[in-house]
Amino acid sequence: MHPAPLLQTILQTTTRYAASLALALASTLSHAEDTLPLWPANAPQNHTVTGEERNTSKPDDHSVIRLGNVSHPTLSVFPAPADRNSGAAVLICPGGGYNILAYDLEGTEICQWLNSIGVTGILLKYRVPAPKQGTRHAPPLEDAQRAMGIVRSQATRWQIDPKKIGVLGFSAGGHLSAALSTNWSQRTYPAIDKADQESCRPDFAVLVYPAYLAKDNVVSPELKIDAQTPPSFLVMTADDKLRPETAITYYLALKDAKVPSELHLFPTGGHGYGLRPSEHQVTRWPVLVEAWMSGLGLLPKH
């Protein structure tokens, strides 16, 4: 491509991203249209949570809501604007080391950004902290499987396409999104109602600075990648404390299984940036995700 048209394309993309981000951040005080409990009664494998659900951030740190002691998981629906609804929806899994949920940075703000590109955001408040005994991601995986079934069962009500429902997760939520993407053929809990008869396979997955994907260049055993694993998009930085090699290992396993996927590695940016802009190039990842989703036919092409 000639340099001038290329520069124009980059400027247009950056301008559109800035406008979308401004719209997202301007509307972070809005509320979800619908919030519902995941489980009709007590959740399976429920574990003891000490104290009430609350924001565990310190009084002098108001930059992130760190939601802790979640024993009653919910779904909150942020519908795409009717005049630009693409029909696509994304289940959002905030991170927090399976101890807390970064509920705004990696939750409500992400839903608002998705709305700005015509996508319905569905925020999953899954159970934390992890149980002291047993598999730490087991209760959250039950919540994620249940959530995906509910979303598909409510597709008409929420005006979404049941074949365009993905998952997007950060850090531990990225691991949870990968676990859902590779453990969907069978529920990890006894079926309760018709929602559990729906497929809990995401149609696509976005993993942003994902945690726990691999160790010693081997994909974590609970992540059973095969040809039916949904197309995946991964983004990480070279200076991430969780080591980009884990994302590379996961991507190579996707490649070997012939799963169409993308991996984006940036030199700097660390961990936990969400979509808040900074001087680091990695914070432009939403532009790349939007282009990737368009390429999959999930969004109109610009």
CATH classification at residue 228: 3.40.50.1820
Asked if the structure places residue 146 within a domain, the reply is yes
For position 102, what pLDDT does the model report?
A: 97
Compute φ and ψ for 84, nearest 5 degrees. -145, 30
Centre a 10 Å sphere on the Cβ of residue 209 and count the other Cβ atoms it contains. 28
Total structural domains within the chain: 1
In the block, residue with structure tokens 């899994």: 93
Closest CA to 298 of 202, 171, 196: 202
Strand partners for 31: none
Give the CA-trace dihedral at 67, 196, 46, 53, to 10 degrees: 20
Asked if the structure places residue 262 within a domain, the reply is yes
3-state SS, the chain, equals CCHHHHHHHHHHHHHHHHHHHHHHHHCCCCCCCEEEECCCCCCCCCCCCCCCCEECCCCCCCCCCEEECECCCEEEEECCCHHHCCCCEEEEECCCCCCCEECHHHHHHHHHHHHHCCCEEEEEECCECCCCCCCCCHHHHHHHHHHHHHHHHCCCCCCCCCCCEEEEEECHHHHHHHHHHHCCCCCCCCCCCHHHHCCCCCCCEEEECCCCCEECCEECCCCCCCCCCCCEEEEEECCCCCCCHHHHHHHHHHHHCCCCEEEEEECCCCCCCCCCCCCCHHHHHHHHHHHHHHHCCCCCCC
Range of the domain at 178: 3-295
Q: Within 13 Å, how many C-alpha atoms sit on residue 297's CB side?
A: 5
Give the CA-trace dihedral at 104, 35, 208, 153, to 10 degrees: -170
Which tokens hold the place of 237?
């930085």
Query: What length is written for the chain?
Result: 302
Asked if the structure places residue 195 within a domain, the reply is yes
Asked if the structure places residue 301 within a domain, the reply is no
Give pLDDT tens digits along the chain (302 positions). Answer: 343 443 343 334 444 444 444 444 444 444 678 899 999 988 887 666 778 999 999 887 778 999 999 999 999 999 999 999 999 999 999 999 999 999 999 999 999 999 999 999 999 999 999 888 888 999 999 999 999 999 999 999 999 999 999 999 999 999 999 999 999 999 999 999 999 999 999 999 999 999 999 999 999 999 999 999 999 999 999 999 999 999 999 999 999 999 999 999 999 999 999 999 999 999 999 999 999 999 999 998 76
Asked if the structure places residue 300 within a domain, the reply is no
For position 23, what pLDDT does the model report?
A: 43
Asked if the structure places residue 284 within a domain, the reply is yes
Contact call for residues 112 and 24 (beta carbons, < 8 A): yes
For position 47, what pLDDT does the model report?
A: 63
Angle value at C-alpha 79, between 18 and 29, nearest 5 degrees = 60
Which tokens hold the place of 85?
């609804």
Amino acid identity for residue 228 in this structure: Q
Q: In what order do the strands lie in the sheet with 54-55?
A: 54-55, 66-68, 101-102
For the chain, how far is it from start to end, CA to CA, in angstroms? 18
